Amino acid sequence: MDNTYYILAKEQICVNRLHVCTWEFPDESSYIEFGMEFPNESFIKDSITLYLATSFIKKNDSVSCLLKNLSDRDNGRFIFNDVVSGIDNVGEDSRDGSILKFEKRDKLTILPCDIKVNDGFISFEVKKPNRYEGNLYFRVLIKLRKGTIAIKKSGIAQTSYIYDFKINETRNLPQNIYDLKKNKGLELCKIENVFCLHAVPDNFVFSFIDSSKQKNIRKLETLAFQRYLPDVRGLSKDCYNIMFLKDGKKDSYSFFSMCTEETIGSKQIALAIGMNILCSLLFAFSSLRFVKVPSIEWYYQVPWEYWVALGILLFLILYLFTPLKRKL
């Protein structure tokens, strides 16, 4: 899947922090989250509209606002990695937005956004709040139609998952993004910092990570995740790791990493060798007593050892070339 993204707007908007978080579920639909933090001074009018452009988005894709999910102390700590000491409503109703107060970091105002999904891009309209503290923030969840976020390359012994994320990379700007910019009068937003996280099953091996951008790799807190995104299926126990990458102070960003999933292990190889030896022995023993009789059909004359050996070989072919997926 092409993971090239562009953040655009009509106004000169500086995104202080862009959060990109992927959730890889091999047996379920995968998800991507995008969160954007920006200053209140970005508002010239009563509302601003930001655009997320990428090739895989289709008009009927599912995209939801996560205001309600973030307006919770436990979820706020899970996402922003700091204790939430208090939450206030922006207006009379919690659906107008929430102000999160943290123990260490600055306050943050979480706002709702009106989402419109089109082929190739999503627009987020954010209305200027009557009350706010600190920077403004909104976050959305995109459900993918395809099974995997990464570029998947399957082999006999292992499957590779390549995460090649590019943000605001103008070197090879697609024609549809160029047309979107021109027709709507948009400009690329300046992004000060990008936080990129990939959640993958713990049987995936991180075979390549850019060490200059890697912050840490940790175990996913399953209960916290289930509380944060209760509608997301595919995660039932502690069997996921999170890779955290960070970069900043650039015009464009690139995050490249790769995971591998072993499909043939040492036990399978040992079993294959043992069955191969068994088949050789069966063929050798049967040849000692195989005598052709012209008056009898050939398949009636084939020794039973041949049929057993052929059955074993057929099983081996299916076993070796069909990846065995572990239930999560």
**What is the residue extent of each domain of the chain?**
4-262, 266-321
Comparing 277 with 205, the larger pLDDT belongs to 205
Q: pLDDT digits over 172-218, tens only?
A: 788 989 999 999 999 999 999 999 999 998 888 888 999 899 999 99
Q: Are 143 and 163 in contact (CB under 8 A)?
A: no
Comparing 264 with 314, the larger pLDDT belongs to 314
- Distance of alpha carbon 162 from alpha carbon 152, whole angstroms: 6
Question: Does the pLDDT of residue 31 top 60, yes or no?
Answer: yes
Instruction: Find where tokens 């409503």 sit.
Output: 89
Comparing 288 with 94, the larger pLDDT belongs to 94
Mean pLDDT to the nearest integer, 213-232: 88
- Distance of alpha carbon 120 from alpha carbon 48, whole angstroms: 20
Mean pLDDT to the nearest integer, 144-169: 86
Query: Does residue 103 come out as left (phi exceeding 0), alpha (psi in the -120 to 50 range) or beta?
Result: alpha
pLDDT-derived band at 268 (thresholds 50, 70, 90) equals: low
pLDDT value at position 298?
61
Lowest-confidence segment of 138-142, 159-163, 169-173 by average pLDDT: 169-173
* ∠ CA 268-271-273, rounded to 5°: 110
Query: What CATH code is assigned to 4-262?
Result: 2.60.40
- Give me 192's structure tokens: 């000060």
CB atoms within 10 A of CB 291: 5
3-state secondary structure 90-142: CCCCHHHCEEEEECCCCCEEECCCEEEEECCEEEEEEECCCCCCCEEEEEEEE
- Mean of the per-residue pLDDT values for the chain? 86
Q: pLDDT digits over 97-151, tens only?
A: 999 999 999 999 999 999 999 999 999 999 999 899 999 999 999 998 777 888 8
pLDDT value at position 29?
82
pLDDT value at position 171?
86
pLDDT value at position 326?
46
How many helices (H) and strands (E) would you count in the chain? 7, 21
The gap between the terminal CA atoms of the chain, to the nearest Å, is: 23
Short-list 208, 194, 211, CA closest to 247? 194
